[in-house]
Amino acid sequence: MDVLKKVPVREQDPKVRATNFDEVCLGYNKEEAVEEAGRCLGCQNAQCVKACPVSIDIPGFIKEVKEGNFEEAGYVIGKSSALPAVCGRVCPQETQCEGKCIRGIKGEPVSIGKLERFVADYARQNGIKPKKPESTNGRKVAVIGSGPAGLTCAGDLAKMGYDVTIFEALHEPGGVLVYGIPEFRLPKDDVVKPEIENVRSLGVKIETNVVIGKSVTIDDLMEKEGFEAVFIGSGAGLPKFMGIPGETASGVFSANEYLTRSNLMKAFRDDYDTPIRPGKKVAVVGGGNVAMDAARTALRLGAEVYIVYRRSEEELPARVEEVHHAKEEGIIFNLLTNPTEILVDENGWVKGMKCIRMELGEPDESGRRSPKEIPGSEFVLDVDTVIMSLGTSPNPLISSTTAGLDTNKRKCIVAEEENGATSKPGVFAGGDAVTGAATVILAMGAGKTAAKGIDEYLKNK
Amino acid sequence: MYKILKACNLASNIFLMEVEAKRVAAACEPGQFVIVKMDERGERIPLTICDYNREAGTITIVVQTIGASTTRMQKLKAGDSFRDFVGPLGQPSEFVSEDIETLKKKKILFVGGGLGTAPVYPQVKWLHEHGIDADVIVGAKTKDLVILEDEMKAVAGNLYITTDDGSYQRKGMVTEVIKDLVENRGNKYDVCIAIGPMIMMKFVCLLTKELGIPTVVSMNPIMVDGTGMCGACRLIVGDEVKFACVDGPEFDGHLVDFDQAMKRQNLYKTDEGRAMLREQEGDTHHGNCGNCN
């Protein structure tokens, strides 16, 4: 064994997986996990922990894996994270824990994400559940949204003894974990649901089908329903479109719609009623993780798929692993390309997408080199479906119905970084509702911070 | 689970249900809608609220069978339950927040076409309860498809019913009634609220624009989540793209691009039709065999 290299992880063959919705990565078995854990140096001053938004004791849990104490390893992670099976799959470890791993200075870092996933899967498969706190303090806290931020905040507060209710707008709890991230990256029944059940087993109640700001307001929750504090983790919001001609044509979707139909509504399955239009030739506009998810979903539904992104490969915001997987499966990357118009047939359907080639100029305010059009380079991409994956703007449902809740110029809710407090007393916020679209783990970090903030606020109240 | 307290057919393909949904009943206003998902496999279906009872905590919905889920939904009886029932969604009708004295001076005309009679009803009722009697035109294809006549009669000022085939009361389109009221009888209206099939709303708007009557329409495009997240319900209103679920469902009818909206409405027609056939005919209909296309 080469100690400088990660123990390779088994994956479904790209040709096979391009036609199914089963999980791509198969994870480590016991032997592989113990072997990989053996590569950890057990640093005293562990850099990986500092780079983890929820500060998991990484050398601590890996030491247990090394010794074969998988259940114990689960408890070590459980102290910091409510969703380890999720994080082991979707965290960008390469820029967080693994990016700071000392092992990685010479050779490859320890495969922390795959080890976390192994430990969480082991616990689930062996029926190990977190324990419900013995007593509660009876103080009610409301959590809005059951995505990563809300679940983490609720789980932490329940562990502290609070009586927590999560309000979810959709019919399933999980937020982006169920409507956004596809089955082949994050299995719903096998991984997400049991993790949500774990949060429930801490005593957290989840009320689905409640749209805060519509079904009930935050003021009503606090004044009429007895909640002493509220955490807003309502997520990212409304999909952005480009504003080019033809965008309301039939066959143009937001990535949110396309993914929600497939993931939440299970449109990819014949026994569910919700329709989806798979498309024969699909262009996905954008280069983030959501774009990769939409592209790989369309591919599995039988389409030929193009990613259309205005910058170059180096600037793709998606995780390297996702881009790699997408390419392996046969997604065609049209980089340095920008759509200028969607061509529409006489019945209002997409019949092509006019694009222009781009070149990179000077770095812009985001630090990325800004793309410029190359005059005269227009061409038509032959597609019948276009999926716009350009990010989101905040949903005004809560901010517009809650007096005293400040938003910034991007319409995101303003919250203190150190405790999640908003401008409204007793109301805290975190995750995409505050930062704009970001990652699962950053939202979890914000949920964790806010749980501490809420605890301090209520203790001093 | 959301219990169905009452279920009955208003016409062969239109049914009414009263459903227990406490939070929705406590918060809803005329003009808003709900999303119903009957069971695990069902679609999320946006439906207008036809009536609500705050004390009893119930919502009345009126549904037309158009797809697989609604066909299955019609088979449910009192005592059964819906898995999911969420709302109220969208913005309430504008008049709800208007100064009541100003509103009392206004002459309001409602036009309900077919199933659109259902969402018109709570608006007319709300006005009636606030001492305002509005004129109402109800249009339907034929006598059997006229719904909520008695209920509407009880709350409307003047009620005019018209059928396309003349099988009940007047014969003709709702636009002919509007013309008759305004041009022959000299009625003056400050605002018209028209809810029904898109093609009806389009022609009502063309007429009221000519007649100079500001007109509100309620759009019911394809939706998934109903909270602004998916963008499926986007419409062109004026020069702007609006989301019907959070910006609407009611818009200035003279600014809505109906042709665009009607094209988008057909987006899933084939797929939806296939799912419905599968429901009705079991495994006999597979699609793509070439025989049915």
Q: The domain spanning residue A279 has which CATH number?
A: 3.50.50.60
Shared domain for A376 and A246, answered yes or no, is yes
Please tell me the predicted confidence (pLDDT) of residue A12.
Answer: 94
B215: left (phi over 0), alpha (psi -120 to 50) or beta: beta
Give the domain-ending residue among A343, A375, A390: A390
Interface of A with B in 115-144 (CB under 8 A): none
Burial A191-205 (b: 16+ CB within 10 A, else e): bbbbbbebbbebbbe
When pLDDT is averaged across residues A350-374 and rounded to a whole number, the result is 90
Mean pLDDT, rounded, for A249-262: 92
CB atoms A275 and B83 under 8 Å: no
Interface with B, mutate which of A207, A209, A238, A264 (most B CBs under 10 A)? A209
The rounded mean pLDDT for chain A is 93
Neighbours of A370 (CB within 10 A): 15
Strands in chain B per DSSP E: 2-11, 14-20, 33-37, 45-53, 58-64, 81-82, 84-89, 108-113, 135-140, 159-163, 170-171, 191-195, 215-218, 234-237, 240-243, 250-252
Report yes or no: A423 at the B interface, CB cutoff 8 Å: no
One domain for residues A340 and A381:
yes
> Closest partner residue to B229 among A215, A256, A275, by Cβ?
A256
Q: Which residues have a Cβ under 8 Å from the Cβ of A71 and sit 6 or more positions away? A: A122, A123, A126, A128
**What is the nearest CA distance from A429 to chain B, expressed in angstroms?**
19
Picking from A407, A452, A413, the residue whose alpha carbon sits closest to that of residue A431 is A413
Confidence at B274, pLDDT banded by 50, 70, 90? low
Query: Quick check: is A184 in a domain?
Result: yes
At residue A366, does pLDDT exceed 80?
A: no
On whether residue A130 sits in a domain, the answer given is: no
Range of the domain at A58: 10-125
pLDDT of residue A273: 80
In this predicted structure, the answer to whether residue A26 has a pLDDT above a threshold of 80 is yes
- pTM value is 0.88
Quick one: pLDDT band at residue B260, thresholds 50, 70, 90? confident
Q: Cβ B272–A271 below 8 Å, yes or no?
A: no
Is A5 part of a structural domain of the chain? no
The residue from A100, A125, A150 where one domain ends is A125
* Token representation of residue A299: 């591919």
Enumerate residues 6+ apart whose C-beta is below 8 A from B87.
Answer: A211, A214, A215, B21, B24, B28, B32, B33, B34, B35, B49, B59, B226
B14-29 average pLDDT score: 96
A192 with A88, same domain: the answer is no
Instruction: Tell me, yes or no, whether A358 and A417 share the same domain.
Output: no
Q: pLDDT at residue B48 above 90?
A: no
In chain A, residues with a C-beta closer than 8 Å to the C-beta of B69 are 273
pLDDT at position B275 is 57
Average pLDDT, stretch B33-47?
91
Q: For residue B52, which residues of chain A lie inside 8 Å, CB to CB?
A: none
Stretch among A411-420, A432-441, B202-211 having the lowest mean pLDDT: A432-441
Mean pLDDT of A423-435: 95
| Contact check, Cβ <8 Å, A237/B24 | no
Contact (Cβ atoms closer than 8 angstroms) between residue A446 and residue A434 = yes
- Answer whether residue A81 shows pLDDT above 70: yes
Going by C-alpha positions, the residue among B172, B164, B94, B108 that lies closest to residue B136 is B108
Q: Are residues A251 and A167 in the same domain?
A: no
In this structure, the answer to whether residues A207 and A323 fall within a common structural domain is: no
- At residue B288 the predicted structure's pLDDT band, cuts being 50, 70 and 90, is very low
Categorize the per-residue pLDDT at B279 as very low, low, confident or very high, splitting at 50, 70 and 90: low
Residues A162 and A225 in one domain: yes
Look at residue A149 and tell me if it is in a domain.
yes
- Which of B67, B84, B230 is facing A254, going by the closest CB pair? B230
> Would an 8 Å CB–CB cutoff place A314 in contact with chain B?
no
Structural domain ending residue among the three candidates A365, A390, A415: A390
The pLDDT value recorded for residue B289 is 42
> In the prediction, which pLDDT does B269 show?
61
> From the CA of B22, how many Å to the nearest CA of chain A?
9
Please report the pLDDT score of residue A155 as a whole number.
Answer: 92
Q: Is A237 in the B-facing interface, judged by CB distances under 8 Å? A: yes
pLDDT band (50, 70, 90) for residue B29: very high
Residue B271, pLDDT score: 57
Select the residue of B86, B230, B267 nearest A211 (Cβ to Cβ).
B86
Interface of B with A in 244-273 (CB under 8 A): 246, 260, 263-264, 266-268, 271-272
Residue B52 token pair: 């609500």
Please report whether residue A358 resides in a domain: yes
Do A79 and A103 lie in a common domain? yes
B232 and A277 within 8 Å at the Cβ level: the answer is no
Question: How many angstroms separate the CA of residue A187 from the nearest CA in chain B?
Answer: 17
The reported pLDDT for the residue numbered B278 is 53
Closest residue in chain A to residue B25, using alpha carbons only: A215
Record: contact A210-B86, CB cut-off 8 A: yes
Residue A2 lies in a domain: no
Test the A interface: residue of B47, B224, B264 with most A CBs within 10 Å: B224
Q: Is B229 on the interface with A (CB under 8 A)?
A: yes
For the segment A403-421, what is each residue's pLDDT rounded down to a tens digit? 999 999 888 999 999 999 9
Tell me how far apart the alpha carbons of residues A186 and A25 are, in angstroms, rounded to a whole number.
Answer: 10
Q: Which of A210, A239, A347 sits opposite B231 (nearest CB)?
A: A239
Question: Does B88 score more than 50 pLDDT?
Answer: yes
ipTM: 0.84
Residue B192 above 80 pLDDT? Answer: yes
**Strand ordering across the sheet containing A304-308:** A252-254, A385-388, A281-285, A304-308, A332-334
Residue A260 in contact with partner chain B when CB distance is under 8 A: yes
B87 lies within 8 A of chain A by CB = yes
Average pLDDT, integer, range B58-86 = 92
A420 touches A386 (CB < 8 A):
no
Confidence at A112, pLDDT banded by 50, 70, 90: very high
Nearest by CB to residue A273, choosing from B69, B263, B266, is: B69
User: Would A198 be classed as within a structural domain?
Assistant: yes
Distance of CA B63 to the CA centre of its chain: 9
Q: Report yes or no: B54 and B147 within 8 Å, Cβ to Cβ.
A: no
Report yes or no: B33 at the A interface, CB cutoff 8 Å. Answer: no
Contact B42, B69 (CB under 8 A): yes
User: Residue B265: its pLDDT value, please?
Assistant: 76
Residues A279-323 have pLDDT tens digits of 899 999 999 999 999 999 999 999 999 999 999 999 999 999 899
- Beta-strand ranges (E) seen in A402-443 are 427-429
Contact: B230, A239; criterion CB under 8 Å: yes
**What strands lie across the sheet with B250-252, from one edge to the other?**
B170-171, B159-163, B135-140, B108-113, B191-195, B215-218, B250-252
Least confident of A296-305, A392-401, A423-432, B78-87: A392-401
A261 and A363 belong to one structural domain: yes
Q: Give me the total of CB pairs closer than 8 Å, taking one residue from chain A and one from chain B.
A: 118
Is the Cβ pair B232, A397 closer than 8 Å? no
What's the pLDDT score for residue A187?
94
B77: exposed, middle or buried (Cβ count in 10 Å: 0-12, 13-18, 19+) = exposed
- Mean per-residue pLDDT, A6-27: 93
Q: Three-state DSSP class for A112?
A: helix
What pLDDT is recorded for position B287?
A: 41
Give CA–CA dist A17/A182, Å, rounded: 13
Q: How many domains is chain A partitioned into structurally?
A: 3
Contact A277 B271 (CB under 8 A): yes
For residue A1, is pLDDT > 60?
Answer: yes
Which residues in chain B are contacts of A273 at CB distance < 8 A?
41-43, 67-69, 72, 275
- The answer to whether residue B6 scores a pLDDT higher than 60 is yes
Instruction: Evaluate if residue B281 carries a pLDDT over 60.
Output: no
Query: A346: which 2 tokens?
Result: 């006489």
pLDDT at B291: 38
Within 10 Å of residue A92's Cβ, how many Cβ atoms? 20
Whether A317 and A340 map to the same domain: the answer is yes
Interface contact A237-B229, CB threshold 8 A = yes
pLDDT of residue B231: 87
> CATH no. for residue A54?
1.10.1060.10
Q: Which SS3 state, helix, strand or coil, does residue A75 take?
A: helix
Closest CB to B231: pick one of A249, A251, A257: A257
Residue type, A3: V
Shared-domain flag, residues A54 and A193:
no
pLDDT for position A394: 81
CB neighbours of A162 closer than 8 A, spacing ≥ 6? A136, A137, A139, A140, A141, A454, A455, A458
| Distance of alpha carbon A385 from alpha carbon A62, whole angstroms | 46
Strand pairing class (B33-37; B45-53): antiparallel
Mean pLDDT of the A71-95 span? 90
User: Mind telling me how many Å the CA of B211 is from chain A's nearest CA?
Assistant: 30
Which chain A positions have a beta carbon within 8 Å of B87's beta carbon?
Answer: 211, 214-215
In terms of domains, do A113 and A164 share one? no
Of B85, B260, B271, the CB nearest to A275: B271
Q: Is there a domain that residue A274 lies in?
A: yes
